[in-house]
Each structure stands twice: as structure tokens, then as C-alpha cells.
């Protein structure tokens, strides 16, 4: 069977902060293109690789990656909340198969995911979607991180496992390219931050207050009233070009410190894209069906949307 990828950036600012000009309309048109691509591909199952922002995955048990056999969305930034339509049998089969490939991966029967996993699902399938999924948390901000080569190998293991199933599988990737939001780090942080990184469980009111604060911060950047690290369009293009090429061997040489220095504090979210394209590559050459990129200065983020399928 063929394999396919839908890869979309996510952003708390989506629908909350005007990126200016025609950008928001163009992004929505590109999402429509991916939605049509997925409808034509008609997957039986969607494996979604995505990060978390210390909402569902905390230092109480941080892992490089994790499969959810049962999962719920925390519902941040208006994304689908509550139990998600996870195909538990498929998730457990992927868990066994990826472990069998020699890639150590955990499994959760009570997984929580935030907008890093859910927002692109909402983009493609609509709020409160029913499409069977297998969520895979890919750590992008909980330092230290695994070598990038391991991300490629993890993705390839998923690809071979998918090809062994009697299902048409779509790999959905979620993550921004160059962007550098403030992220709490464990090393050197005070005890109050350590507690937040281990046991964050806000009330709905506390979560809403925090989200409003973050959106206000992005709006201040958009209004020119707050600084933001500059985007790195050249680096964004370099990363996207490797994914477009079908030759993922350069990924092995991407050192973690270089990746963050060039792309910013949250650039490692692109690990989800690398895993998805590595999975797709196991079925042979592929072609891009959707391919868009914006350097959205007012969001302080490189934003891309792609879709690809086995050639």
C-alpha cells in the first residue's frame, strides 16, 4: 500500500492574532488543499506525530517519544477536548512493531496531548473529529533531546510497521519551523518552575488565563510593542528542502545545539516532520502534492503546510 504525509505547523496565534495582509487567508486555503488531499487519499488510520508544551507530558516522566493507546486532548486554545478516537489495537501493534525494530518507545494507556497534537487534526478533520488516530508524542522542548539520527530511525520503524498492516496509513506531522517562544528549562530554574514542569494541572480558569496571557504577548509582538527573535528563513528553507528531496541522510548530521541555535527555542518541533517523512520514505520515492511556506513575522514563527504521497 502507498503511504502519505500531511504536515502542518500549529500556532496559539491561529485565529487569535492577525498575521497581516493575505497571510491568514492563504494559510486557510492551504489547509483546504491538505483537507482535499487527505479526503482523496482516504486513510484508514492516521498516525499523528506531535510535540507537547508541558501540558500533557511533564518531567514526572519525560520520554523521547511515546505512543498513546488511549488519549485525551487537554483542550487548549480551543482545540478538541476530552477523549480522542484512538485506535488502541493499532497503537499497541505499532508499539510492539517499533520496539521489534530496536527503537525504544513507551506506551501510555492514559495519554494527555495539547494543541501540538490536536490542532492539525482539527484543521484536517474538523473539531470533535471521529477519524481513527494513533497519537505519538515527540519530545521537542524537554531537554536533553535524543540525537536527530534516532528520530529518523524511529520514523522509519513506524513506516515499516505501517506497510506490514492491512491499512492505508496517513502520517500527520505537527510543528513550527524557526520560532523562539519563551520556554521554561529545568536546569537552573527555581523550585516553583520545577514543580510546574512536574505536576502542571491547571483549573480551566487558570488555563484560560495563561492562554490569554500568551496570546496577548504574541499580539504585542504583532503590534511592534514587544521584541521577538528574528525568523531564520534561510534555515527554514534548508530543512524543508531536505524533506522535499526524499533523501533524509542529511538529518543524521543535524546536531541538536546547531538546530536550536539556527531555528530557535522550539525549532525541534520539526522532529515530528522528520519522523513522518522518514516513515513515508520507507515506501520508496514520494512526491509533494501541497507545499507552502510563510515567514509570519507577526506570529514570530515560520509556518509551513505540506502533503506528500508515495510516487
Q: Per-residue pLDDT averaged across 233-261, rounded?
A: 98
Identify the CA nearest to 219 among candidates 155, 142, 300, 274.
300
d(CA 6, CA 181): 24
List the Cα angle 141/300/14 in 5-degree steps: 90
d(CA 109, CA 138) in angstroms, rounded, equals: 16
Pick from 165, 10, 134: which is nearest to 65 by CA?
A: 134
CATH number at residue 280: 3.40.830.10
Instruction: Catalytic residue, from 10, 53, 95, 115: name it.
Output: 115
What's the number of CA atoms in the CB half-sphere (13 Å) around residue 281?
A: 20
- Nearest partner of 113 among 140, 146, 79, judged by Cα: 79
Of the residues 10, 53, 179, 268, which is catalytic?
Answer: 179
Residues 231/300, Cβ–Cβ less than 8 Å: yes
**Residue 127 burial (CB count, 10 A):** 12
Per-residue pLDDT tens over the stretch 4-59: 999 999 999 999 999 999 999 999 999 999 999 999 999 999 999 999 999 999 99
Cα–Cα distance between 18 and 35 in angstroms, integer?
Answer: 22
Residue 86, pLDDT score: 98
Cα 135 from Cα 117, distance rounded (Å):
7
- 188-227: per-residue pLDDT in tens? 999 999 999 999 999 999 999 999 999 999 999 999 999 8
Whole-prediction pTM: 0.97
* Half-sphere CA count of 100, side-chain side, radius 13 A: 10
Contact assessment for residue 85 and residue 70, using Cβ atoms and an 8 Å cutoff: no
- Is there a catalytic annotation at residue 179? yes
User: For the chain, what is the largest distance between any 2 Cα atoms, rounded to a whole number of angstroms?
Assistant: 54
Quickly count: other Cβ atoms within 10 Å of residue 135's Cβ. Answer: 29
C-alpha cell at 54: 508541558
Q: What are the tens digits of pLDDT across the range 67-122?
A: 999 999 999 999 999 999 999 999 999 999 999 999 999 999 999 999 999 999 99
Mean pLDDT of the chain: 97
Q: Range of 218's domain?
A: 4-310
Residue 172 phi, psi dihedral angles, 5° rounding: -110, 125
**How many independent structural domains does the chain possess?**
1
Amino acid at each position: 500500500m502507498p503511504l502519505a504525509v500531511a504536515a502542518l505547523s500549529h500556532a496559539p496565534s491561529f485565529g487569535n492574532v492577525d498575521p497581516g495582509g493575505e497571510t491568514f487567508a492563504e494559510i486557510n486555503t492551504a489547509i483546504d488543499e491538505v483537507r482535499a488531499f487527505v479526503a482523496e487519499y482516504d486513510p484508514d488510520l492516521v498516525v499523528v506525530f506531535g510535540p507537547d508544551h508541558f501540558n500533557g507530558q511533564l518531567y514526572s516522566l519525560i520520554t523521547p517519544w511515546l505512543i498513546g493507546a488511549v488519549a485525551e486532548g487537554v483542550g487548549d486554545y480551543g482545540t478538541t477536548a476530552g477523549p480522542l478516537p484512538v485506535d488502541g489495537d493499532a497503537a499497541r501493534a505499532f508499539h510492539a512493531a517499533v520496539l521489534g525494530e530496536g527503537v525504544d518507545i513507551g506506551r501510555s494507556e492514559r495519554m494527555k496531548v495539547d494543541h501540538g497534537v490536536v490542532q492539525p487534526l482539527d484543521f484536517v478533520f474538523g473539531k470533535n473529529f471521529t477519524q481513527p488516530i494513533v497519537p505519538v508524542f515527540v519530545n521537542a522542548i524537554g531537554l536533553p533531546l535524543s540525537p536527530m539520527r534516532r528520530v529518523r530511525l524511529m520514523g522509519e520503524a513506524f513506516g515499516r510497521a505501517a506497510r506490514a498492516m492491512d491499512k492505508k496509513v496517513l502520517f500527520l506531522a505537527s510543528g513550527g519551523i524557526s520560532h523562539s517562544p519563551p520556554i521554561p528549562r529545568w536546569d537552573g530554574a527555581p523550585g516553583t518552575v520545577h514543580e510546574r514542569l512536574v505536576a502542571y494541572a491547571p483549573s480551566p480558569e487558570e488555563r484560560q488565563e495563561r492562554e490569554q496571557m500568551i496570546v496577548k504577548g504574541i499580539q504585542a509582538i504583532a503590534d511592534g510593542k514587544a521584541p521577538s527573535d528574528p525568523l531564520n528563513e534561510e534555515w527554514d528553507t534548508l530543512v524543508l528542502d531536505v524533506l522535499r528531496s526524499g533523501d533524509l541522510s542529511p538529518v543524521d548530521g543535524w546536531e541538536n545545539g546547531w538546530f536550536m541555535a539556527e531555528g530557535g527555542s522550539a525549532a525541534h518541533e520539526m522532529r515530528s516532520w522528520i519522523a513522518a517523512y522518514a516513515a513515508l520514505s520507507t515506501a520508496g520515492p514520494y512526491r509533494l502534492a501541497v507545499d507552502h511556506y510563510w515567514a509570519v513575522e507577526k506570529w514570530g514563527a515560520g509556518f509551513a503546510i505540506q502533503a506528500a504521497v508515495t510516487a
